[in-house]
Structure 1
Amino acid sequence: MAAQMEKSQAMKRDSIATARMLSEALPHIQRHDGSIIVIKLGGHAMSSPDAMASFARDIVMMHQCNLKPVIVHGGGPMINAMLEKLEIPTEFKDGKRISTPETVEVVEMVLSGTVNKTIVQAINDQGGRAVGLSGKDAKLLVCDQAEGGLGLVGAPKKVNAGVITAMLDGGFIPVIAPLGAGEQGQTFNVNGDTAAGAIAGGLDADRLLLLTDVAGVKDGEGDVLTNLSAEQVHAMTQSGVISGGMIPKTQTALDAISNGVRAVVILDGRADNACLLELFTDHGAGSMIRA
């Protein structure tokens, strides 16, 4: 009997805490009402069906609260697995894959096919209305060939965002594979973060959320910094505090901000409900970078 009473009291405390959390989320929901939120999906959130289902529930929750989520996804591990399965050799330069025509054919097949439709299905299974497309559709991402001798890697130069805004106005959730079209009809492989940043800028998004496998931008002591200005990011990069794989992510953030995005958040996609924590709570879930 005592155990049952204790369990009942615990459930009541949990219910009260849940109700309080929902009530406290109201001003944040009102603040983001109607806002476009671009989310770069990768890493842990794509690692298992459970993680994908949790992410999809968050996206549908955002949509139900009248936010307008736009998903841009990666898929590096899946591409590597398919290249290995097809016994297609991969060349690297400075640790980056060289995108040959044969490689890009596989990249398009994996990203626009298996990966994109898996995400679309996960969102639809949670009651959303997701539609998959790539940066080639309606010439969404027009690219030049990126410098650096990496082959058919695209550098976005123009975003034709009309196809996305039409979907958003129709109540759909766009899920975008990071491919681009060249002026001569070439297919370009585009870095997922770069594509997300360009699309966020083209949409004048309120937020760009970069889901990663780290907690955010850290200072010299290893502590996560929750709020940063563009000037601070520049200084930390020059001093070496920001280094390695965090450099391209913060550069994506700076580029997006310069193109009109209100704020960029680098956050840990391994955390449960990371997007909801960032958007609908006071403490957030990562490092926010503003102009």
Structure 2
Amino acid sequence: MKMDGRLLMAWPSPKAADLGFVGEVARVDPTILRPLIDNNHIPVAMSVAADEFGQPYNINADTVAGELTAALGAEKLILLTDVAGILEDRDDPKSLVKEIDINGVKKMMEEGKVGGGMIPRVNCCMRSLAQGVTTASIINGRVPHSLLLEIMTDEGAGTMITG
């Protein structure tokens, strides 16, 4: 089965036995996106990809976004989500970390300060940075104009992670 022109290829997640058809990105082939982008289209990719045998797998959407960002050679990954960003104290929404480097994020993860749904988001940001993306941001889409604040101001709208 071809899915999205084989933009993404998957393999089963180590947790697939417990979770069902959950996968991870095995490979990204962005050549199908290049003509769309070159012609000023904004492609939308689904977070479902097939393995080499055609078995479809659900993949974490943040992970897909990060892998596509890296494969396209983009400078910036922005994850628009429903949380403020990385918090110094998970229980204090006012403890937002505005900017942090990858080593600081790793330290916070080791200390258990990053947990729950933030783990896959932060992991995909770190993976993107390791593949050449310059900055990765986790921003709060519930804030009016958050995307504009993130890309057009020094204030930002969440947490920016740098390499």
In the TM superposition, 1:147-158 aligns within 5 A as 147-148=14-15, 149=17, 150-158=19-27
Equivalent residue, structure 1, for 2:5? 138
Q: Which amino acid aligns with 2:152?
A: F
Deviation per CA, 1:68-123, whole angstroms, max 9, x where unpaired?
Answer: xxxxxxxxxxxxxxxxxxxxxxxxxxxxxxxxxxxxxxxxxxxxxxxxxxxxxxxx
| Helix, strand or coil at the partner of 2:161 | strand
Q: Which amino acid aligns with 2:5?
A: A
| Helix, strand or coil at the partner of 2:43 | strand
Equivalent residue, structure 1, for 2:132? 260
Contact kept, 8 Å, 2:12 with 2:24, in 1: the verdict is yes
| Helix, strand or coil at the partner of 2:44 | strand
Distance 1:248 1:158 in 2: 18
Distance 1:191 1:244 in 2: 14
| Helix, strand or coil at the partner of 1:194 | helix
Q: 1:199 aligns with which of 51, 68, 74?
A: 68
Q: Which amino acid aligns with 2:162?
A: R
Q: Which amino acid aligns with 2:154?
A: D
Which stretch of structure 1 is more off in the superposition, 264-273 or 212-221?
212-221
Q: Which amino acid aligns with 1:279?
A: I
Deviation per CA, 1:190-228, whole angstroms, max 9, x where unpaired?
Answer: 111111111111111111111111111111364111111
Q: 2:153 aligns with which of 281, 285, 288?
A: 281
Distance 1:185 1:267 in 2: 34
**Ranges in structure 2 where 5+ consecutive residues have no aligned partner:** none
With the length of structure 2 as denominator, give the TM-score of the two structures: 0.91
| Helix, strand or coil at the partner of 2:119 | helix
Equivalent residue, structure 2, for 1:247? 119
Task: Give the Å deviation of 1:238.
Answer: 0.9
Distance 1:230 1:282 in 2: 19
Task: Give the Å deviation of 1:136.
Answer: 1.8
Distance 1:178 1:156 in 2: 9
Question: Quick one: percent identity of the two aligned structures?
Answer: 35
Distance 1:185 1:266 in 2: 32
Q: Which amino acid aligns with 2:118?
A: M
With the length of structure 1 as denominator, give the TM-score of the two structures: 0.52
Q: 2:46 aligns with which of 151, 172, 177?
A: 177
Contact kept, 8 Å, 2:7 with 2:29, in 1: the verdict is yes
Q: Counting helix residues as a fraction of each chain, which structure ranks higher?
A: 1
User: What's the Cα RMSD here?
Assistant: 1.4
Q: Which amino acid aligns with 2:76?
A: R
Q: Looking at CA atoms only, which structure, 1 or 2, has the larger radius of gyration? A: 1
Deviation per CA, 1:160-202, whole angstroms, max 9, x where unpaired?
Answer: 0011111000111111111112101111111111111111111
**Ranges in structure 1 where 5+ consecutive residues have no aligned partner:** 1-134
Task: Give the Å deviation of 1:151.
Answer: 2.2
